[in-house]
């Protein structure tokens, strides 16, 4: 029997189904088993005789001794019904197969279920079954694109936002084929901002491939061949209630003296807000001009969360900036309509890593001298999640207003500065090479140039490295040209200890000599008590373009602490720089390898941060020919 079945299997593999059926009928008339019935069903399936295949698979299912075999037979039955154009039955049998085996071994069944459910418009089944495939090495990209497409067709704003962000997070690791599929889908969905962001991420990696260049050229052709007519409305999008709230915010700000360039438009897309300017702005005109009277100060309000993560706002008595009340009410309404707090909890590491406190603590240790970061983990450990959500969310958007600047607008505070929001400017997204905020008397302005491909206007939030952007803003800035060292201790060859504190703020260069002023944005501040041990507030590992900056900073440190002139000669100085540099690079790599081990690819945005950090350090080392291990 066994040898006969092997022979039949070979016949089927060689597409000799009729001969195989003849042999199988003899077996099934005398001593059938699940395998013989299943093979007969396969023969009829291959011959496109689905009506005959189904009863054979049914018989195989009834006498199948193992659940693993049952999942395969159920899959075969689903295939028959699919080919018979009975999608509902196909879904039924695929669900039965997954009920028996929901593991990664049955991933193809899960994928087919998603495909058929999508075709039938049963989007809830796609969202129920397909996310598990995101951990599959084979089907992860197909699953992600299916979820993105389903979110758009189903007009599910929250999932549109979530899966769009996930696509951008995964894009760095895409193969050429995966990138092509994703760009084509993004274009079909008319998701212009996603397409533009994908091109920006993939450009360096794929600009040598003809299909990628042709894709870019086709987009440019479409843009140039269609004369763009600037809409009259200042705010555009699908969500009419949200558009009305944003327009109300603009009108209120204009009454208080704000101005917006005629070519500026605010776009709402899937709950995301962006500002686009349809002007090359060669004259560097001011594009947004918002008076301080419009800017809400956080100290003027009590803020809380309800059970649905909607923000509750209460004004305090004797507000310091009462003119900003209408602005604050509109902005809170916008945050609530776009479910910002719920979305924030899906991106902030203080929520995505809350079930792995040791890993989160180790990550926070890299910025342990940033008080607001340590405050967040204290709130988490104390179980104050609402307070954490509000503090971290508004902390990611807050702007510092100085006492003297506010006084010029007749806003008087008793403290040196207060945190507040940026009305409308809050909608601008971040890029390292984006435009900068401009503080003028009584107002905050933005001028500069929009992106050429997307027309989006970006701003540069801060000189943060990817670690701090992740901890504060919940995203990894992979384009940042620097990475600050984690807190470590290094030792000179003459036994002087240097504690590198791991800060990454702007530099005060009072301790650095004037002849190296050009590295003031990177050079550390030094302090000492005994001239035997020193503290350096920060050390930066730069990108390849500026790879001399770390060595220049180390030279500045050595020159400052070399009281006995041990490194007076150029050769000794170069050797000492290399001695410290190798310690810094090796210790930082070790830190990120430890984080990688603890994460184990569980949190995708953290995985992106780890990969970015390790790649950055290795790239720096390779550019200078450093031998690490």
Token representation of residue 2: 């066994």
Using only the alpha carbons of the chain, give its radius of gyration. Answer: 31
Say if residue 486 is in the same domain as residue 460. Answer: no
Residue 228: pLDDT above 70?
A: no
Cα–Cα nearest to 493, from 586, 569, 558, 585: 558
Task: Supply 276's token pair.
Answer: 């686009």
Task: For residue 280, tell me if it sits in a domain.
Answer: no
Domain assignment present for residue 102? The answer is: no
Does residue 28 belong to any structural domain of this protein? Answer: no
Residues 443 and 521 in one domain: no
- Which pLDDT band holds residue 420 (cuts at 50, 70, 90)? very high
Q: Where do we find the tokens 């079930």?
A: 355
The CA-based dihedral angle spanning residues 88, 91, 92, 98, taken in that order and rounded to the nearest 10 degrees: 180
Question: For 259-319, where are the E strands, in sequence order?
Answer: 259-260, 264-269, 272-277, 286-291, 301-305, 311-315
Confidence of residue 379 (pLDDT cuts 50, 70, 90): very high
At 627 the pLDDT is 61
Residues 346, 219 share a domain: no
- The proportion of the chain whose per-residue pLDDT surpasses 90, expressed as a percent, equals 48
> Helices 240-255 & 325-337, crossing angle to 10 degrees?
160
Measured distance CA(258)–CA(8) in Å, rounded = 81
388-416 residue pLDDT tens: 999 999 999 999 999 999 999 999 999 99
Place 431 in a pLDDT band, splitting at 50, 70 and 90: confident
519 with 440, same domain: the answer is no
Instruction: Let me know whether 426 and 515 are in one domain.
Output: no
Give the whole-angstrom CA distance, residue 170 versus residue 607.
Answer: 10
Residue 555 and residue 432 in one domain: no
C-beta of residue 174 within 8 angstroms of C-beta of residue 202 = yes
The predicted structure's pLDDT at residue 96: 92
The model's pTM is: 0.63
d(CA 18, CA 155): 49
208: pLDDT confidence band, cut at 50, 70 and 90?
A: confident
Q: Please, which residues have CB within 8 angstroms of residue 404's CB and are 6 or more apart in sequence? A: none
In this structure, the dihedral spanned by the alpha carbons of residues 400, 469, 393 and 245, taken in order and rounded to 10 degrees, is 80
Please check whether residue 324 lies inside any domain of the structure: yes
- From 533, 545, 542, select the one nearest 584 (Cα to Cα): 542
Domain termination residue (choose one: 209, 228, 247): 228
Q: What are phi and psi of 281, to 5 degrees?
A: 55, 50
Distances, alpha carbon 215 to alpha carbons 206, 208, 257, 455, in Å: 11, 12, 44, 18
In a domain, 428, yes or no: yes
Q: Same domain for 461 and 602?
A: no
Domain boundary residue, one of 228, 256, 274: 228
pLDDT class for 169, splitting at 50, 70, 90?
confident
Q: Please report whether residue 414 resides in a domain.
A: yes
Cβ(269)–Cβ(237) under 8 Å? yes
Residue 282 binned pLDDT confidence (cut-offs 50, 70, 90): low
Whole-number pLDDT of residue 504: 66
Instruction: Categorize the per-residue pLDDT at 626 as very low, low, confident or very high, splitting at 50, 70 and 90.
Output: low
Q: How many residues does the chain have?
A: 629
Task: Tell me whether residue 338 is in a domain.
Answer: yes
Can you say whether residue 19 is alpha, beta or left, with left for phi > 0 and alpha for psi between -120 and 50 degrees? alpha
Spell out where 421-562 has E strands.
429-435, 437-440, 443-447, 458-459, 482-484, 488-491, 497-500, 526-528, 533-536, 540-542
As for how many domains the chain has, the answer is 3
Determine the structural domain holding residue 185 and report its residue range: 157-228
Provide the pLDDT for residue 515: 38
272 in a domain, yes or no? no
Do 318 and 418 share a domain, yes or no?
A: yes
Burial label, 586 (beta-carbon count in 10 A; 0-12, 13-18, 19+): middle
- Other beta carbons within 10 Å of 494: 11
Q: What is the DSSP letter of 529?
A: S
- Do 569 and 503 lie in one domain? The reply is yes
Domain co-membership, 467 together with 493? no
93 or 509, greater pLDDT: 93
Statement: residue 281 has pLDDT above 50: yes
Of the candidates 473, 500, 533, which is a domain's last residue?
473
Mark whether 320 and 435 lie in a shared domain: yes
**436 and 353 co-located in one domain:** yes
Closest CA to 389 of 296, 325, 330, 306: 306
Compute the mean pLDDT over every residue in the chain, rounded to the nearest whole number.
Answer: 87
How far is Cα 134 from Cα 124, in angstroms, rounded to an integer? 17
Mean pLDDT of 437-450: 88
3-state secondary structure 254-267: HHCCCEECCCEEEE
DSSP bridge partners of 315: 301
């Amino acid at each position: 029997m066994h040898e006969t079945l092997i022979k039949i299997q070979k016949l089927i593999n060689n597409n000799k189904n009729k001969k195989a059926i003849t042999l199988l009928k003899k077996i099934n008339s005398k001593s059938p088993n699940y395998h013989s019935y299943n093979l007969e069903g396969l023969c009829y399936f291959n011959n496109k005789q689905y009506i005959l295949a189904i009863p054979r698979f049914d018989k195989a299912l009834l006498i199948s001794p193992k659940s693993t075999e049952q999942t395969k037979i159920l899959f075969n039955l689903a295939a028959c019904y699919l080919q018979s154009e009975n999608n509902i039955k196909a879904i039924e049998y695929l669900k039965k197969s997954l009920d028996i085996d929901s593991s990664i071994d049955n991933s193809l069944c899960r994928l087919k279920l998603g495909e058929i459910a999508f075709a039938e418009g049963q989007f809830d089944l796609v969202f129920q079954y397909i996310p598990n495939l995101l951990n599959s090495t084979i089907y992860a990209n197909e699953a992600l694109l299916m979820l993105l497409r389903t979110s758009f067709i189903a007009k599910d704003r929250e999932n549109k936002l979530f899966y769009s962000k996930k696509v951008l997070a995964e894009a760095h690791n895409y193969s050429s084929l995966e990138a092509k599929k994703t760009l084509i889908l993004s274009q079909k969905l008319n998701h212009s901002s996603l397409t533009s962001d994908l091109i920006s991420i993939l450009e360096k990696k794929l600009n040598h491939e003809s299909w990628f260049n042709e894709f870019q050229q086709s987009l440019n052709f479409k843009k140039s061949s269609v004369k763009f007519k600037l809409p009259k409305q200042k705010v555009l999008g699908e969500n009419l209630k949200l558009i009305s709230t944003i327009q109300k915010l603009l009108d209120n700000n204009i009454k208080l003296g704000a101005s917006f360039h005629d070519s500026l438009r605010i776009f709402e897309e899937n709950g995301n807000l962006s500002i686009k300017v349809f002007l090359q702005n060669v004259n560097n005109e001011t594009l947004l001009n918002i008076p301080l009277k419009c800017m809400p100060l956080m100290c003027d309000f009590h803020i809380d969360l309800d059970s649905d993560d909607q923000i509750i706002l209460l004004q305090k008595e004797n507000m310091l900036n009462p003119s900003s009340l209408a602005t604050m009410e509109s902005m809170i309404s916008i945050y609530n309509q776009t479910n910002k707090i719920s979305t924030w909890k899906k991106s902030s590491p203080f929520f995505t890593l809350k079930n792995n406190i040791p890993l989160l603590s180790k990550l926070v240790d890299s910025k342990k001298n940033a008080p607001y970061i340590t405050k967040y983990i204290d709130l988490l450990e104390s179980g104050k999640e609402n307070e954490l959500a509000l503090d971290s969310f508004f902390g990611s958007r807050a702007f510092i207003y100085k006492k003297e600047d506010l006084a010029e607008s007749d806003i008087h505070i008793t403290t040196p500065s207060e945190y507040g929001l940026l009305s409308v400017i809050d909608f601008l997204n971040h890029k390292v090479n984006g435009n900068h905020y401009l503080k003028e008397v009584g107002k905050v302005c933005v001028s500069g140039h929009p992106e050429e491909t997307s027309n989006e206007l970006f701003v540069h939030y801060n000189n943060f490295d990817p670690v701090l952007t992740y901890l504060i803003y919940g995203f990894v800035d992979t384009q940042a040209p620097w990475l600050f060292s984690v807190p470590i201790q290094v030792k000179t060859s003459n036994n002087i200890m240097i504690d590198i504190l791991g800060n990454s703020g702007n530099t005060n260069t009072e301790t650095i000599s004037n002849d190296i002023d050009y590295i003031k944005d990177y050079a550390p501040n030094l302090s000492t008590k005994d001239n035997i041990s020193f503290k350096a507030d920060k050390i930066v590992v730069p990108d390849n373009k500026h790879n001399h900056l770390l060595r220049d900073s180390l030279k500045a440190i050595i020159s400052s602490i070399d009281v006995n002139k041990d490194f007076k000669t150029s050769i000794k100085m170069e050797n000492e720089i290399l001695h410290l540099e190798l310690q810094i690079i090796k210790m930082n790599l070790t830190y990120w390898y430890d984080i990688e081990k603890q994460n184990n690819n569980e949190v995708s945005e953290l995985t992106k941060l780890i990969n970015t950090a390790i790649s950055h350090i290795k790239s720096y080392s390779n550019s200078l020919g450093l031998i690490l291990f």
